[in-house]
Structures are given as C-alpha cells and as structure tokens.
Amino acid sequence: MGVQARHLVKLSPLVVLVSVLSLAGCCTKCTGDKCTPRSPWQSPTIHATRSLLLVNTQELRIVLLDGDQANPTCVAESGVREYHLVPGEHSVTAVFRYADSLLADVTGLPLTLTHEFVPGHVYVAVYREHEGDDPEPEVAVAEVASSAIGAPPLYWSLEILDVADAWNSEPEVEEARAYSAWVIGTQASLGQVQPLLAD
C-alpha cells in the first residue's frame, strides 16, 4: 500500500466523524413530523455518558462553563439552547438582560453557580429577580442593574433544576420536560433511545 493510500485510510475515520457530526446538527430547515431537532442528545451513547443543561428562557445567557467561554452544543429552532456536559461538578456563569420598557434595560450582573451534574439527567437553568439589597448570605446572588429612573434595588439568583424531580412544576421545568420528550420521543418511537425521564 502506498503512502497516499495509507494517509487516506487514516483520514477516513476523521471524515466519517465530521460527516456524522454535521448530519447531527440540530437545526433542520424542513417541517413536519420527520423534522425534529437533530440534537446529539438523541444519541444513546451521548445520552448515557453526558448530562444535558437546557436554557429555555431567552433573557438568560450562559457565558462561561468552568471559566471558559460557553457555546451551546445545539440551538433548536425554538431557541432552546443545549449544553452537553461531562458528568460531575461544573461552574456555570450566567447573565440576563431584557427591556423593561421602551426606555429601560434590566441587566443581571454575572453570577456563578457550582452544580453537580449526573449522567443521563436533564437540567434547566432558571433565574429569579428579588427586590431589596440584603439577600440571605448563603444564597448565590448578583446585583441587577436597571436604567429605569427610580428603580428599586434588585438582586437575582440562579438555579439549576433537575427536570426529573417530579415535585418541581416551575414553568421552565415544564417547558424543559416537553422539549426533552419531543427530542427523545421521535428516536424512541424508532426504537433507538430509551425514554428520558425514568430513573
């Protein structure tokens, strides 16, 4: 076998891997039942060896994961951002911003939260604003800046909630459950992935 042929043999697995990842990109342009979010989470291997963090609130942005710039693994057409994480403890730094009116912007200053992620579990990031300027010291919080004149002092908190916790009925959790069921449901119907929320 010549040198060029050996190089081609070595490159072939790389080409196959790149092709698979390209096809597994999550935003398809078609419509109908055959077009689901082509999330890597649909892969049984990824599903068994990774944790999934969802952000389904448009105002909330994850900016750092473990101190490095955070880029979503997948952004669905609905705008849900997926972050596929190696299980274990991770620090998540987030901010939020929205327009309170035509004249005022509200911005949550960066806040970092450390969380333990379990393989195969789906989590959703949730933020809450609180009035006042004296939060409880054990709660991780950051200030909220507003350009509104006379705005009350605000601080905000970040939570990462396990979607499998049946007791939790926060709106973001319910939306994450529906999204997860949608992503997994199509592949499960084809017999490729087990249902997601079973422990």
Please report the pLDDT score of residue 129 as a whole number. Answer: 87
Instruction: Output the pLDDT for position 23.
Output: 37
Average pLDDT over residues 29-37: 46
DSSP 145-168: EE-STTPPPEEEEEEEEETT-TT-
User: What is the mean predicted confidence (pLDDT) over 5-12?
Assistant: 44
All residues at 6 or more sequence positions from 124 whose CB lies less than 8 Å from its CB, including other chains: 53, 54, 55, 56, 160, 161, 163, 172, 173, 175, 176
Q: How far apart are CA 36 and CA 183, in angstroms?
A: 7
Where do the structural domains in the chain lie, given as residue ranges? 37-189
More confident residue, 167 or 116: 116
pLDDT digits (tens, 9 = 90+) for 112-127: 999 999 999 999 999 9
Residue appearing with tokens 């990462």: 160
